[in-house]
Amino acid sequence: MDSTPVLHDGEFVLTREGSKDFGEISPEIAQAIRRQAGKIRLRIGKQEGERENYGERHIERPDRLQQLRDNGYQNARDLVQDVTKTYDAIYGGKGSRLILYKKGIKDAMIYVELTRLEEGDFYDVKTGLITRKDFMGNKKPLWNTSQGG
């Protein structure tokens, strides 16, 4: 991947193309998983201590950033952009979170949560990581590509 600089618009990280929207949970998929449809966005977020960490800063903490780079991603933006464009399945996460999962040479996933701001609702990327192949074990997805959408 090239080293296109990461740009921001306020608290939001922008895609390589300059959009706040990295992808979406389409109306068709949302209906299948009984959730609200919405755009997926990545905020700058924070990484401070043990709790309430999220976004670009949380994904790019030193140990995780090296793991991303070892797997072909330059930064959090590149991971999130790849997973949101090509996820294979959606799993239920803790509480109201959803896990967008992408299979590959190394599997990757991002955790998103519906967030409400004055400008509208969106799925906020809380974290993302490279996973081992059996990470989800026998967990049944809420949706996968064989269901369409």
pLDDT digits (tens, 9 = 90+) for 26-40: 999 999 999 999 999
Is residue 85, in this structure, part of any structural domain at all? yes
Confidence band of 113 (pLDDT split at 50, 70, 90): very high
Q: Which domain holds residue 78?
A: 8-132
With respect to residue 146, please indicate whether it lies within any of the assigned structural domains: no
Domain-embedded: residue 48? yes
- Please indicate, yes or no, if residue 149 is contained in any of the structural domains: no
In a domain, 49, yes or no: yes
Inside any domain, residue 139: no
pTM for the whole structure: 0.92
Instruction: Tell me what pLDDT residue 147 has.
Output: 77
* Residue 119: predicted pLDDT: 79
Contact yes or no for 79/72 (Cβ under 8 A): no
Determine, yes or no, domain membership for 147: no
Would the pLDDT of 148 be above 80? no
- Residue 41: closest CA among 63, 58, 61, 19: 19
Total structural domains in the chain?
Answer: 1
Structure tokens belonging to residue 139: 């967990």
Let me know if residue 2 belongs to a domain.
no
Whether the CA torsion 27, 132, 107, 137 is positive or negative: it is negative
Tens digit of each residue's pLDDT (9 = 90 or more) over 35-73: 999 999 999 999 987 788 999 999 999 889 999 999 999
pLDDT, one tens digit per residue, over 85-96 is: 999 999 999 988
